[in-house]
Amino acid sequence: MKGVYLLLLLLLPMLSAAAPAETGIKTVVRLIESRYSVHRHGIPALWLAKPFLNSATGGGGGVKIEEFSGLHISARDSEWLRQHIPASLGPDWHPFVEEWSNRDGEWSFIYTRSKGQHVSMLILTSDEEDGLTAVEMRVSDQNMAEWLDDPIQSAKNHK
Amino acid sequence: MKPNYSVALVVLAATLTAHGQKIQVPASWDKLAAKAQEVANVTLDKSMLGLAAKFMKDDNDQDSVEINRLLEKLNGIYVRHIEFKNPGEFTEAEVEPVRAQLQGPEWSQIVNVSDKNSKEKVVIYVRTVNGKSAGMVILAEEPTELTFVHLDGSIDLHDIDALSGNFGIPKDVHAPKANSEKPNPTGEKR
């Protein structure tokens, strides 16, 4: 029996190394931190707001938010992120909507992932006032149908 | 044995040419986007279309059934939309390279409608491979807006009606009524 435990102990690191790491908001945060030499800001007491946030996502839930409040990347300079985020997220995530304004410098990149019964959305948005914000959330069926109905307007409404 | 580089180059060139025919978004579009005020890109690849089919499935809704039937035929929907502040900020000459990329042997322009009053113009190109429809491009122009839609897959002109207004495809793009599918020589809406 000891031998089996020993074998499992030896195999465990190999199995975890073989399993592809799940990508998402943390992947994007790491990419931004390394590219722009900045650190994210967590949102204090986010758990208090989560019931409201879950409601805002149509009950999808699983909301994660990271902020880079001092980081302003203009729409034109966002091209680097636009090129590199899909590669860092890997094949599970699909670019869905990219929207930017050359007038006020605001932009949003939106990616989706389908896993089991759930669809997640990863939204990266930047504006002059708030800086860069990354949000990952599960999307309800109703919300996803609305996004598909009019993705461009939905992206504008989200900002 | 020496590798035959010339054969490899010919194969590569043929592959690139074939890929070029299967146009997604012309590179010249980026030049227009750079000077626009607002830019939006919507990408629905095969996987996203599968997801869309799941979310739009409603067996009791005829429109939903029709959209699902069309999504199965498509490999991707790519929408590029740009908005300018004022009319006249882009010229026909700047749009021409976009059209030029749709003039290969597989592409044919089948609809060209313009409205003198609203100054709107819709041009539809169809890609045909071995006699079968393999894709469609819609180029919709307004005085301050340009929309480029590429429907990649075996889709017919009349399928546009079901898709317009969804997935970022402009809702005012429709297939012409029967007997008016040939390019309008005057290019004007009657």
Is the ipTM higher than 0.90? The answer is no
Residue at token pair 């949102």? A43
Q: Do A94 and B45 touch (CB under 8 A)?
A: yes
DSSP strand E in B116-171: where?
A: 120-129, 132-141, 145-153
Q: What is the pLDDT of residues B128-177, one digit of tens each?
A: 999 999 999 999 999 999 999 999 999 988 888 888 888 989 887 777 66
Q: Where are the domains of chain B?
A: 23-163
The DSSP string of A71-138 is ----TGGGHHHHHHHHHHH-TTEEEEEEEEETTT--EEEEEEEEETTEEEEEEEEEETTTEEEEEEEE
Q: What is the pLDDT of residues A81-127, one digit of tens each?
A: 999 999 999 999 999 999 999 888 899 999 999 888 788 999 999 98
For residue B147, list chain A residues with Cβ-Cβ distance below 8 A. Answer: none
Sign of the torsion angle spanned by Cα atoms B43, B44, B47, B52: positive
* Band (B9; pLDDT cuts 50, 70, 90): very low
For residue A145, list chain B residues with Cβ-Cβ distance below 8 A. Answer: 55-56
Q: How far is CA A146 from CA A29, A71, A112, B171, in A?
A: 27, 31, 14, 15
Q: Do residues A105 and A74 make contact, with C-beta atoms less than 8 angstroms apart?
A: yes
Distance from CA of A99 to the nearest CA of B (A): 4
